[in-house]
């Protein structure tokens, strides 16, 4: 260390991408929340995976959903080890149940409000926050 002030801008830690999840993240980058719908039993599923967890079929389509949901549980974070998250304290991590199918639940940040106002059953809708020039990350905000 030279003692000079650090001017690095923290980079947001991002999701792992593999063959199963790449289509999901490509759609998120386009501002679309979509889930795999099984071609055999027609059920939506999340997280993205190669085979339907209900019937085992590998055939599916990617179906956009409304992005409307309700907060089922949440936590307000006041500490973070990662520099990017540390700059965004306090922030909310929540489990959001999608109105498109109550079996669909996503872990996500709640944004656009005072973290102290987040509550059980709160109506939220998906938003897409820019990460860099090409990528976005989903979050939810109160409606
Ligand atoms: Zn199925």
Distance 35 CA to ligand 1 centre (A): 13
Q: Are 53 and 45 in contact, with CB atoms under 8 Å apart?
A: yes
How far, in Å, is the centroid of ligand 1 from the Cα of 80? 38
Q: Is the pTM of this model over 0.85?
A: yes
How far is ligand 1, taken at its centre, from the CA of residue 102, in Å?
Answer: 17
Helices in the chain by DSSP H: which ranges? 22-29, 83-86
* E runs forming strands in 8-78: 34-38, 44-45, 60-64, 68-77
DSSP 8: P
What pLDDT is attached to residue 14?
Answer: 83
For residues 87 and 3, which has the higher predicted lDDT (pLDDT)? 87
The confidence score (pLDDT) of residue 130 equals 93
- The pLDDT score that the predictor gives to residue 92 is 98
Q: How many whole angstroms from 72 Cα to the centroid of ligand 1?
A: 25
Q: What mean pLDDT is reported for the chain?
A: 93
Give the residue with greater pLDDT, 132 vs 9.
132
Distance 56 CA to ligand 1 centre (A): 6
pLDDT-above-90 percentage for the chain: 86
- Closest among 104, 106, 117, 102 to 139, alpha carbons compared: 106
Task: Tell me which residues have their CB within 5 A of the ion that is ligand 1.
Answer: 38, 40-41, 52, 54-55, 57
Residue 117 Cα to ligand 1 middle (Å):
38
pLDDT over 70 at 5, yes or no: no
């Amino acid at each position: 260390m030279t003692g000079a002030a650090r001017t690095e801008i923290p980079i947001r830690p991002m999701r792992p991408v593999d063959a199963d999840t790449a289509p999901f993240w490509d759609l998120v980058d386009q501002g679309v929340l979509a889930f795999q719908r099984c071609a055999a039993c027609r059920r939506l599923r999340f997280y993205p995976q190669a085979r339907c967890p209900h019937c085992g079929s590998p055939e599916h389509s990617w179906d956009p959903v409304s992005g409307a949901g309700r907060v089922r549980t949440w936590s307000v974070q006041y500490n973070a080890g990662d520099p990017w998250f540390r700059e965004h304290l306090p922030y909310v991590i929540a489990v959001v149940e999608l109105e498109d199918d109550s079996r669909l639940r996503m872990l996500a940040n709640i944004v656009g409000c005072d973290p102290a106002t987040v509550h059980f059953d709160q109506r939220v809708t998906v938003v897409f926050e820019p990460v860099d020039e090409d990528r976005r990350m989903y979050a939810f905000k109160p409606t």
